[in-house]
Amino acid sequence: MNRRSRVRAGAVALTVALLAAGCTGSGAGGGVRGTPGAAGVRDPLYPRLGNGGYDVSRYALTLSYDPATGRLDGRAEITAKATQDLSAFNLDLTGLTVRGATVDGAPAAVNRAGNELTLRPREDIDDGAEFRATVTYDGVPETVTDSDGSEEGWLRTADGALAVGQPAGSAAWFPGNHHPSDKAAYDITVTVPAGLKAVSNGVLTSERKTADGRTTSVWHAAEPMASYLATLAIGRFDTTTATALGTVPVLTAVDPVVAAETAALRARLPEILEWATENFGPYPFAATGAIVERDDDLGYALETQTRPVFSASSFDTSTLVHELAHQWYGDSVSPATWKDIWLNESFATYAEWLYAEDFEDTPAQKNFERAFANEAAWAFPPAEPPRAEDLFATPVYRRGAMVLHRIRQELGDDAFFEILAGWPAEHRHGTASTEDFTRYVESVAGRDLGKLWDVWLYGDEKPENPTD
């Protein structure tokens, strides 16, 4: 190495060291010594999901998609508040290429390591300060295969694409704090080729033609939303509109191929929502509806906020009841961690049991006994799914619903229905844990229910008989 290049190498090494130490620019704004936010929120099942050091209040996504090439062009504007003095912070992003980033209008340094994107602003951000980060990115978004084998993230469909994100797939189409503990409002603006539609969460605030003949739609989801509940369906859709509960706009979008076979049930959405509010309390959102895709496009249904997504064959009465019930349990009250997912699935399953009790002459007791006899329901305690691949296993749904039925048996119908509506009222638009739930139920009961929790919620063994 000659002298000249040695000097250059030394300068590079110094710059790298300064960058690593977080020194570039820090303190320039007045002596704050921030540290980097954590790369995950230590979720017991998904430790790398989410990020520490800030709270997002709003995502504004501006996207355009071309189904012919599969390419997505995106710009994410993230409004957040620092919860520590920050020298840098992370966003979760799976795949895609980042073209640039700013923080409060100034270019930010970008580093990428796998699914972690690190933004280092020129100046540290003070604890408590609100800031705005923008990320421009593009690429062909990935389909994520979960450890249980199901597909999420960005799915290409026969005529477009579908984004679904439980538990981690939303990072495949926008950078963010992708853990349910950080909920935010969303504004999603999407441009698609002529003849196609883009359907997302919340209220459609505008739909207009661009100069080159494409269509831009703007969706506004005002109430806090966990990122796993964000959705985007692009393709040819037949849409129907109606009004539910007197004031709530209903928008259903369905692949034209399955429009006829799903029409009758789509028309019943308002009456099912009416029944749901009688049992679960006021509907938590400003809009409702459904998106129905072909079976080849998606193999399951998901409770995406305000507008659940279905495959055609999953679009039946009990699944519609299930996904609408999730709007209270899961969407308005979201799990504090992924371990708490039984709080979503138990209530949504119990809603199916209640619906069958009210309209199909099947008492919930009958479904409870069926679930009790189902050996698959006893693989693990619902409050303690051992692995990520167990998130959607039978114990979470069936044994979770059995826990609720045991509460009903123990406390009687009056207290049980008080809990059904009281729990989502207590944590409306927030997040809650299993411990929050057991404490809440005991407060309604006015007594300790430790034995019930030990046996039904946390116990490893199947009880001898269903009244234990």
Helix, strand, coil tally for the chain in percent (to 5): 35, 30, 35
CB of 131 to ligand ARG, least distance (A): 32
- In the complex with Zn ion, the residue whose CB is nearer, 154 or 329, is 329
Please give the size of the binding site for ligand ARG, defined by CB under 6 A.
Answer: 12
Choose among 310, 267, 317, 262: nearest CA to 290: 310
Q: Distance between CA 290 and CA 312 in Å, rounded? A: 11
148 binds, among ligand ARG, Zn ion, none (CB under 5 to 8 A by kind): ligand ARG
Q: Which does 51 bind (CB under 5 to 8 A by kind): ligand ARG, Zn ion, none?
A: none
User: Which of 43, 303, 340, 436 touches ligand ARG (CB under 6 A)?
Assistant: 303
Output b/e per residue, 406-418; b: 16+ Cβ within 10 A.
bbbbbbeeebbbe
Per rule CB under 5 A, is residue 324 in the interface with Zn ion?
A: no
Binding status of residue 293 toward ligand ARG by CB under 6 A: no
Task: Tell me: does residue 341 bind Zn ion (CB under 5 A).
Answer: no
> Using CB under 5 A, which of the segments 70-78, 346-354, 358-366, 414-422 binds Zn ion?
346-354
Interface mask (CB under 6 A) for ligand ARG, residues 116-155, using x and -?
A: ------------------------------x-x-x-x---
**Separation of alpha carbons 128 and 108, rounded Å:** 20
From 361, 363, 257, 371, select the one nearest 315 (Cα to Cα). 257
What lies within 8 Å, CB to CB, of 418 at 6+ separation is 444
Q: Is 348 in the site for Zn ion (CB under 5 A)?
A: yes
Nearer to ligand ARG by Cβ, of 62 and 319: the residue is 319
**How far is Cα 226 from Cα 244, in angstroms, rounded to an integer?**
24
Q: In terms of CB distance, is 37 or 385 closer to ligand ARG? A: 385
Q: How far apart (Å, rounded) are the C-alpha atoms in residues 69 and 133? A: 28
Binding mask 199-228 for ligand ARG (x = CB under 6 A): ------------------------------
Sole binder of ligand ARG in the list 275, 300, 380, 417 (CB under 6 A): 300
> Where do the DSSP E strands lie in 38-108?
54-66, 71-82, 86-92, 97-103, 106-107
- 258 touches ligand ARG by CB under 6 A: no
Residue 166 binds which entry of ligand ARG, Zn ion, none, CB below 5-8 Å type-dependent: ligand ARG
Asked whether position 24 contacts ligand ARG by CB under 6 A, the answer is no
- Residue 123 contact partner, candidates ligand ARG, Zn ion, none, CB within 5 to 8 A by sort of partner: none
For tokens 């990115």, the residue is: 137
Distance CA(164)–CA(172), nearest Å, equals 10
Tokens of 406: 């045991």
Work out whether 298 is an interface residue with Zn ion (CB under 5 A): no
Residues 406-435 touching ligand ARG, rule: CB under 6 A, are none
Strands of 228-386 (E only): list them: 232-235, 238-244, 248-254, 288-293, 309-311, 333-335
Crossing angle, helix 400-411 and helix 364-373, to 10 degrees? 130
The answer to whether residue 318 forms part of the interface with ligand ARG (CB under 6 A) is no
Q: Measured from the CB atom, is 255 or 390 closer to ligand ARG?
A: 390
Residues between 378 and 397 with contacts to ligand ARG, criterion CB under 6 A: 392
Question: Per this entry, what is the length of the chain?
Answer: 468
Dmax over Cα atoms in the chain, in whole Å? 89
Minimum CB distance to ligand ARG smaller for 275 or for 392: 392
Site residues, ligand ARG (CB under 6 A):
146, 148, 150, 152, 166, 300-303, 322-323, 392
Site residues, Zn ion (CB under 5 A):
345, 348
